[in-house]
Amino acid sequence: MRFLLNLSFRYKVPLWGSLLIVGTALIISSTLLLRSYGELKSDLLRDATTQGRTMATTLFSAVLHDQVWRAYEIIKAPFSRESGDGPGQVESLVVLDQKGQIYVSTNPERLPMLADFARLSPEFASLAGIISQTGRETRVLEPEGSDHLFVATPIREEQAHLGTLVQIYSKKVLRSRFLKSAGQAALIAALVIVLLLPIGWYWGQRTAVPLLRLTERMEELGRRLPDDLAPELYDYQDELGRLYRAYNRTLHQLREKAQIEGQMIHSERLAAIGKLTAGIAHEVNNPLVGMLTALDTLRHHDELSPRTLKTLTLLDRGLMQIKDTVGALLVEAKVKSRDLLSQDVEDVRTLIEPQARERGVSLRWENQVQAPLSLPSSSVRQMLINLLLNAVQASARGGEISATITADDAVLSMVVVNGGQILTDKQIAHLFEPFANADERGHGLGLWVCYQIARQLGGNIEVESESRDGAGRTAFKVTIPFGAPA
């Protein structure tokens, strides 16, 4: 038995299903056969009772006037109407007088006239006493171990009792009809089993295979995040279908958790880099201010030669470049600034459109900001300018960039999309780090500044880069809640 329980569901479910079908078919067939036998016997006895009452009423006059031949014709009539092998065919009819002697019978050789009924056989002897006590109602007698059924009907009218009509039925006829019904039932049961077994096996496999796939995926969870289970493998609403959907939901939650953990690690790395960068920038900025002040003081002396002035100019230009770089690293979004207006957003468009036209890039603009927002306008403008400049530089000539700025549910959303090259996962992982994208066009601090401002304002910045309709599509989305300290 344990061997069967240890089988794979691929075999266990169809096997148990097949056994259940066979067992159910046998039980139902047996129940129907027993019921059929009971109904067949009940119908026979009901017909016999009706026939006995009818004949007893007719026999009363014949027995009263001692018309033996008339009585014989009456009890012989059923044999001329019915088929000899019919299930309800009576084997013998006998009329007993008040003394228990045979008045007339349909089988004179076995049941001769004027013979004592009780002395003809032990079976009749056991019935004689019961028959003599028959009242007004018909009685069905079935002696133990007998192959016959006896239906005794009194021949009487009002208070006059003349005798008893006894119908004798053979159980062999009943068994023959029962066995015929049993054969038909067995054939039907066999046909049902033949039809249901393949269906049961198919549905067993249909249930077992999804369970096997689910088991395989669950075993992979400890090593890696497996693929989702295809919904079409078991697209039903029962418990197994719910288990499928629960597994897929759990898998999605695990993926989201892993993604969130990755984002947290990435944010922590950027925060550490930001602190380190800010510390270095502050250390550089202090002596830098002193050097610029000294150069400015030196430039005001009259005795400087042209070569010295040229050298001072070069030094001043280089130090100013260093100052710009350091200033970009020292991002501070929470400086005092007025609230953001719709016109502030439109001013950014005015600044960017000339540069976009110069590079042959079209700008699709959608500004839905209407009322003033409790956000520092200078910081938000700086983010939007950096994202748009980055999009212009990433787009090829003839390309298009789009900017959508909305304010819904107390959140400012800015989405900037360009059709440049697709970013790799490695590039996205380091996209918001300082100097990660430095080239001849800039020092690579624009996205770093956007990230720092968004985080300081309690918001977030995300990037998606994918191929769509055969072209690249990179979208930067910034979300900032209203009411951030300004």
Give the DSSP letter string of 441-467: TB-S-HHHHHHHHHHHTT-EEEEEEEE
Please give the Cα distance from 101 to 128 (Å, whole number): 10
Other beta carbons less than 10 A from residue 462's beta carbon:
13
Q: Is 418 helix (H, G, I), strand (E, B) or coil?
A: strand
Indicate the pLDDT class of residue 53, thresholds 50, 70 and 90. confident
Where do you find CATH 3.30.565.10 in the chain? 333-481
pLDDT recorded at residue 475 = 93
Matching CATH number, 333-481, of 2.60.120.10, 3.30.365.10, 1.10.8.80, 3.30.565.10: 3.30.565.10
pLDDT recorded at residue 83 = 47
Mean local confidence (pLDDT), 222-232: 77
CB 74 within 8 A of CB 59: yes
Please give the Cα distance from 478 to 413 (Å, whole number): 6
Tokens matching residue 210: 């999804």
Where do you find CATH 3.30.450.20 in the chain? 2-178
Higher-confidence residue of 16 and 409: namely 409
pLDDT recorded at residue 360 = 92
| Whole-number Cα distances in Å, 397 to 105, 337, 356, 389, 392 | 122, 37, 9, 14, 9
Question: CB under 8 Å to 246, separation ≥6 — which residues?
Answer: none
Mean local confidence (pLDDT), 59-84: 81
Torsion, Cα of 370, 373, 375, 376 (10° steps): 60
List the single range of 268-277, 388-397, 406-415 with lowest mean pLDDT: 268-277
CB 419 within 8 A of CB 471: yes
Q: Which helix (H) or strand (E) holds 23?
A: helix 9-64
pLDDT recorded at residue 415 = 95
Mean local confidence (pLDDT), 81-101: 72
Nearest one of 122, 116, 102, 119 to 164, comparing CA atoms = 102
Fold of 2-178: Beta-Lactamase (3.30.450)
pLDDT recorded at residue 333 = 44
Please give the Cα distance from 282 to 289 (Å, whole number): 11
For residue range 346-372, what is the model confidence (pLDDT) as tens digits?
988 988 898 899 989 999 999 999 889
Mean local confidence (pLDDT), 56-64: 87
Phi/psi-derived region of residue 164, left when phi > 0, alpha when psi is between -120 and 50, beta in every other case: beta
- Average pLDDT of every residue of the chain: 79
| One-character DSSP codes across 252-306 | HHHHHHHHHHHHHHHHHHHHHHHHHHHHHHHHHHHHHHHHHHHHHHHHT-TT--H
Backbone angles phi, psi at 97, to 5 degrees: -85, -170
Please give the Cα distance from 258 to 262 (Å, whole number): 6
pLDDT recorded at residue 486 = 39
Higher-confidence residue of 446 and 345: namely 345
